[in-house]
Amino acid sequence: MKTNSTVRRSNNKPPLKAELRTKTNSPPKTKAPKLVPPATVNTPEKVSWAGRVPSVKPGVYDDGLPIHQVEYLACKMMLKPNHFDSRKSLFAFADIVEKAAKETGVKFSTKGFKKVPLKLREVLFVDTKDFRLYNEAFILRRRIPYEDGFPVGDPEVVFKFRHPDIQAAAETDVRPRILGKHRVKFKCQVLPLKEKLGGIRLLFSHNVQFPRSQMGMGGENMLNFDNWIKVFPALGRLRKEANEQVELVSNTIIEEVLQDIGILDFGQGVKAKTDVGIWRTRGEHRALIGEFAFQIRFKDRKELALEAMQRAEAFFIAMQYAAKDYIALKATKTGVMYRLLGNPPNSHE
């Protein structure tokens, strides 16, 4: 897939000192435990993402800065929302997490998390009428948190390019042309297979986010696609004509309910907070989709000890079976949102 930015490849490889590999030159000093979920009705496939998260080929963006590297492993599992109708029901999912954790030698603690307040955010998506952004693997949304029933802080703009090809994701320059501050996040997203339990698929999400006020724009019409192209030049190749309009996707505003429920310890210093959430339509409160997620952040791949990653992988597969009555294999949150009015776009998800 062609990208809007020009990336020059460097002859020097990046200093990834401890890239994960399925094969190593020398065996580890201690034998890794057998990290396979116990026998179930269905036997999970023998797959491994722990040692095969691909590397990004070195290169630079048009301004000479090096292209971004993956710094997050975000494991997500979509859930049927009908199980969640209260804060108590969100915490009840911790029993399923604990079951999968015990099966795979992962430590899981909920201590203190019942005192952590529930999070509420308003989320909306904008796109062209023909879903041009989403069909070309772009997502543009705005979100704002609520506290005690009222919005707080500055609305946040989130722009991302999500694709199964890590190089295409990395070479797409999502950085905004603004004077204010922004934050880039490049994530490897781990999801179950679409067709059956017991496997994984990878998507690579190259994101940028910033407060709306950092755009430094005043009365501009932000439903004018050209104004968004000024902020995100990567969208320029999608432009068909001047003064095109973007609109609210599915004519819907999402209410996101999110609850942190515990922390996973995979050993060797690798830990991840877990959360459960649901998306529902604002106003009528129609539940759309739920999600269980945990995320591991790292600055250097040497932080991702192979045994710990194998344990994380075994846990993620065990979770699919433990949550078989909850899981929604073919869904993503954004995909459900786009299909809400029965007009499904094509996408790279």
Q: What are the tens digits of pLDDT across the range 39-69?
A: 444 444 444 555 567 889 999 999 999 999 9
pLDDT band per the 50, 70, 90 thresholds, residue 219: low
Start-end of H helices in the chain? 87-92, 94-103, 132-135, 166-171, 225-231, 306-322, 333-338
Residue 166 clears pLDDT 60, i.e. is over it: yes
Is the residue at 157 inside a domain? yes
Number of domains in the chain: 1
pLDDT in the model for residue 84: 94
- 154 belongs to a structural domain: yes
**Which tokens belong to 183?**
């934050």
Task: Confirm whether 321 is domain-assigned.
Answer: yes
Mean pLDDT of 274-303: 92
pLDDT of residue 34: 44
**What value does the CA radius of gyration of the chain take, rounded to a whole number of Å?**
21
Is the pLDDT score of 6 beyond 70? Answer: no
Are the beta carbons of 73 and 53 closer than 8 angstroms?
yes
Residue 17 exposed, middle or buried by CB count within 10 Å (0-12, 13-18, 19+): exposed
Predicted local confidence at residue 217, as pLDDT: 65
Please tell me the distance from the alpha carbon of residue 194 to that of residue 349, in angstroms, as a whole number: 10
Q: Using 50, 70 and 90 to split pLDDT, how confident is the model at 283?
A: confident
Higher pLDDT among residues 257 and 285, named by residue: 257
Query: Would you say residue 254 has pLDDT above 50?
Result: yes
- Helices 306-322, 94-103: inter-axial angle, 10-degree rounding: 130
Calpha distance 145→124 (Å, rounded): 12
pLDDT value, residue 26:
45
What is residue 51's predicted lDDT score, i.e. its pLDDT? 59
Instruction: Please report the pLDDT score of residue 100 as a whole number.
Output: 98
Is the confidence at residue 272, as pLDDT, over 80?
yes
Task: Establish if 116 belongs to a structural domain.
Answer: yes
Place of tokens 């991302």: 160
CA distance 145 to 188: 25
- Whether residue 55 contacts residue 19, with contact meaning beta carbons closer than 8 Å, is answered with yes
Specify the 3-state DSSP secondary structure of 162.
strand
Whether residue 242 has pLDDT greater than 70? yes
Q: How many residues does the chain have?
A: 349
User: Measured on CA atoms in the order 266, 270, 276, 280, is the torsion positive or negative?
Assistant: negative
148: alpha, beta or left, given left = phi > 0 and alpha = psi -120 to 50? left
Evaluate whether residue 59 is within a structural domain.
no
The answer to whether residue 32 sits within a structural domain is: no
Residue range of the domain that includes 143: 68-338
Backbone angles phi, psi at 48, to 5 degrees: -145, 120
- Relative to beta strand 72-79, strand 183-191 is parallel
Share of the chain above pLDDT 70, in %: 84
Q: How far apart are CA 314 and CA 37, in angstroms?
A: 7
Q: Within a domain: residue 95?
A: yes
The backbone region for 198, taken as left when phi is positive above 0, alpha when psi lies in -120 to 50, beta otherwise, is left
Which of 195, 159, 132, 160 is CA-nearest to residue 331? 195
pLDDT of residue 40: 40
Higher pLDDT: 37 or 119? It is: 119
Residue that has been written with the tokens 């509420």 in this structure:
120
Q: Which residues pair with 289 in a beta bridge?
A: 279
Return the number of other C-beta atoms located less than 10 Å from residue 253's C-beta. Answer: 15
In a domain, 89, yes or no: yes
With 0-12 CB in 10 A as exposed, 13-18 as middle and 19+ as buried, what is 111? exposed
Q: What is the pLDDT of residues 319-340, one digit of tens each?
A: 999 999 999 998 889 999 899 8
Average per-residue pLDDT for the chain: 85
